């Protein structure tokens, strides 16, 4: 069985792509969730997990998801690979989201998204999540 349930915050606004396949409009949304690993108050870490949504879910994400919002997503793990422009094989692991829901009220989410984010060495922010280090964005297969 391949089931995943994650709770975390979006690290940036979703990247949404629209394409046409015949008469069918296809929508894909990609985003990264920062998911806490809690060991103790002094030693918090986070995982940055790539998520992909399709169709109506992606359209919803395009309208209502934004950096800092806290979500609960349910889906499955999918692995893959591609060869980048330099000829190097890159392995990927994504969560294919099958359902999502908001994990906090809009007011709470907006208050947390206004908190300053440091671009220095990764540090735990006031919301308990580790800030994303610079240069984390890797070359993606969809440019």
Residues 69-79 pLDDT 10s:
999 999 999 99
Query: 4-113, what's its fold?
Result: OB fold (Dihydrolipoamide Acetyltransferase, E2P) (2.40.50)
pLDDT of residue 39: 74
* Entry pTM: 0.70
pLDDT under 70: residue ranges of the chain: 22-23, 40, 106-143
Are 128 and 44 within 8 A, CB to CB?
A: yes
pLDDT score of 113: 55
The residue among 134, 131, 124 whose CA lies nearest residue 38 is: 124
Cα 19 versus chain centre, distance: 21
3-state helix, strand, coil split of the chain in percent (to 5) is 15, 50, 40
């Amino acid at each position: 069985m391949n089931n995943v349930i994650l709770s975390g915050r979006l690290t940036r606004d979703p990247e949404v792509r629209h394409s046409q396949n015949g008469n069918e409009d296809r929508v894909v949304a990609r985003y990264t969730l920062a998911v806490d690993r809690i060991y103790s108050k002094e030693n918090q870490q986070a995982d940055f997990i790539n998520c992909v949504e399709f169709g109506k879910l992606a359209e919803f994400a395009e309208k209502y998801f934004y950096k800092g919002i806290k979500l609960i997503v349910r889906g499955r793990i999918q692995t893959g690979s591609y060869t980048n422009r330099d000829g190097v094989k890159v392995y990927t692991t994504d969560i294919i989201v099958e359902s999502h829901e908001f994990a906090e009220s809009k007011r709470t989410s907006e208050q947390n998204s206004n908190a300053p984010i440091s671009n220095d060495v990764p540090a735990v922010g006031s919301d308990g999540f580790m800030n994303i280090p610079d240069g984390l964005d890797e070359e993606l297969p969809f440019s």
